[in-house]
Amino acid sequence: MEEIIKAKLNEIEEREGVRIIHAVESGSRAWGFASPDSDYDVRFIYVRPKEFYLRLEKTRDVMECLLDETLDINGWDLQKALRLLQTSNPTLFEWNNSPIIYKTTANWKKIQTEINGFFTAKSGLYHYLSTATSNYREYLKTDMVKLKKYFYVLRPLLACKWILDKRCPPPMLFSDLVEAELEADMKPIIDDLLIQKMNTPEMGNAPRIDDLPQRPSSNWSRLNELFLNEIFES
């Protein structure tokens, strides 16, 4: 598949008249917990000829190139990428840290040395906490849960812990986050869940894992006793 992806990137360059300076995997394959039938989420940064940037009219700065059951390929213009970098956009740090690189260039490597200097903990924390919260509310409340959705909550939560501890962009690999940030007694549980996920089709469901036990019914009599003791003493 890697050779097919590289060929598709070459086709995009020729068809669109652009230079792709960096292309990576960005989804579950880069996170290290792909299902047997996971698709490929390819993301790239491209540059157009300089005349394109001198136009008065507004031009598109994203490229959606291919979307089917196997491949999802799209990219950002370098101008868009650097503008988002200035605001500490977490997506760019993820692309920069991807362990699966389909193409890169000397020009990108020069930019790469500067990227982490634009990271801000506040922006990263907001992004990952918001991601975890929205995925939890949308996917983990039903009786049957897609196994992959647990990791769409776990990974951003561990990324938050990483940012709080280290004040730098979190790694892409889920295993790195687990090793650094997950409590030891939780690791066997997550390891078992990960094995299930990686051996289950992408749409595979399982009964929801119960939350922490609910606390016992409120004991009003004891609270009333404490309250009455206090007010009568006053």
Q: Helices 187-198 and 174-181: crossing angle, nearest 10°? A: 170
Which residue in 3, 43, 2, 1 sits closest to 23, CA to CA?
Answer: 43
Query: Is 150 a residue whose pLDDT tops 80?
Result: yes
CA dist., res. 100 & res. 228, Å (int): 65
From the list 64, 17, 57, 61, the residue with the least C-alpha distance to 42 is 64
Q: Compute and round to an integer the Cα radius of gyration of the chain.
A: 23
Q: Is 154 exposed, middle or buried (0-12, 13-18, 19+ CB in 10 A)?
A: buried
Distance, CA of 33 to CA of 136 (rounded, Å): 18
In angstroms, rounded to a whole number, what is the distance separating the alpha carbons of residues 14 and 10? 6
Q: What is the mean pLDDT of residues 50-68?
A: 88
- The per-residue pLDDT for range 176-188, each reduced to its tens digit, is 999 999 999 999 9
Question: Where are the domains positioned within the chain?
Answer: 2-118, 121-207
Please report how many Cα atoms fall inside a 13 Å half-sphere around the Cα of residue 14, on the Cβ side. Answer: 6
The mean pLDDT of 122-148, rounded to a whole number, is 91
User: Which one has a higher pLDDT value, 48 or 214?
Assistant: 48
> DSSP for 133-168?
HHHHHHHSSSSEEEHHHHHHHHHHHHHHHHHHHHSS
Conformation bin of residue 62: beta by default, left when phi > 0, alpha when psi is -120 to 50 = beta
Mean pLDDT to the nearest integer, 76-87:
95
Round the average pLDDT of the chain to a whole number and report it. Answer: 89
Any idea which of 60-69, 125-134, 157-166 has the lowest mean pLDDT?
Answer: 60-69
Angstrom distance (rounded) from CA 205 to CA 209: 11
Instruction: Kindly report the length of the chain.
Output: 234
pLDDT number for residue 212: 46
Is the pTM higher than 0.75? The answer reads yes
Q: Which CATH number fits domain 2-118: 3.30.460, 1.10.3470, 1.10.1060, 3.20.20?
A: 3.30.460
